[in-house]
Structure 1
Amino acid sequence: MENKKYDLEDRLVAFAGDIILFCKDLPNDMTGEYYGNQLLRSAGSSALNFGEAQGASSVKDYIHKASICLKELKESRVNLKILNKAFYGDESIRLNLLEEVEQLIKIIATIIKNKKNQ
């Protein structure tokens, strides 16, 4: 992953895409399939829910949809931590994904906090 500036939607899409590429190379065993499938769903869902938040009909609706995005990012983080503990997948990619998901969680959490304080 490169250190470029993205708008948030682009970063979430890039994260979901990078997760797809990471999961394609996980071992084809029960563990790899289980955690890979779960990670694909949560990472993709975070990007999709952020897209929905952008079309929100109210601030309350935006906060709700952004909160779902945040929940999915946190699920992705835990999944990556489990895979990290088990040394599953390419280590450098896995660690970069963990770093990116931490940054995305902080950004989305800050946006939600700021929206609540409006």
Structure 2
Amino acid sequence: MTNDLKQRTKRFALDCWILCSQLPKTREFNAYVNQLIRSSSSVGANYRAAQRAKSSADFLNKLKIVEEEIDESDYFLELLFEVCLIEKLDFEPNFQPLMKESKELTAIIVAAIKTTKSTIQTK
């Protein structure tokens, strides 16, 4: 599962980058694009850091950061999607798989956080 999730989080960051490279290059788009690129790449980077945690508590804290970053990525995907609708840009097919993946990654990370919490509490 660890390697699979490492690959998925990396693929998510790359797919977000690909989407962002296709969006208009304006000051307004760039503000959201930059945020999405930062947060989506941070998901994988922080997940990798969690794998090197020094303790269960450290692992839990790092997973919480991953959860925050994936939620932030989801937020900027939603914003960019809605802006594209407002601007009448046809990017919907590009957004749907990424929004689905962000929801799936969130569910996986939340489950891992719950499992880790219960493990820590039973010790």
TM > 0.5: yes
Whichever structure has more helix as a proportion of its residues is 2
Corresponding letter in the other structure for 2:7: D
Pair 1:71 & 2:72 matched: no
Q: Deviations over 1:54-84 (max 9, x none)?
A: 0000000000011101100000001111111
Corresponding residue for 1:94? 95
Q: In structure 2, how many angstroms separate the alpha carbons of the residues matched to 1:77 and 1:12?
A: 13
Corresponding residue for 2:58? 61
Task: Point out the structure with max Rg over C-alpha.
Answer: 2
Ranges in structure 2 where 5+ consecutive residues have no aligned partner: none
Q: Deviations over 1:90-116 (max 9, x none)?
A: 211111100000000000000011000
Pair 1:47 & 2:48 matched: no
Q: Deviations over 1:34-54 (max 9, x none)?
A: 110000000000100000000
Ranges in structure 1 where 5+ consecutive residues have no aligned partner: 1-5
- Secondary structure of the residue that 1:27 maps to in structure 2? coil
Q: In structure 2, how many angstroms separate the alpha carbons of the residues matched to 1:113 and 1:63?
A: 9
Corresponding residue for 1:34? 31
Corresponding letter in the other structure for 1:24: S
Question: Contact 2:81–2:91 at 8 Å: present in 1 too?
Answer: no
Corresponding residue for 2:7? 10
Shift of 1:89: 6.9
Q: In structure 2, how many angstroms separate the alpha carbons of the residues matched to 1:117 and 1:66?
A: 14
TM-score computed with the length of structure 1 as normaliser: 0.91
Question: Contact 1:26–1:89 at 8 Å: present in 2 too?
Answer: no
Q: CA RMSD in A?
A: 1.3
Runs of 4+ in 1 over 6 A off after TM superposition: none
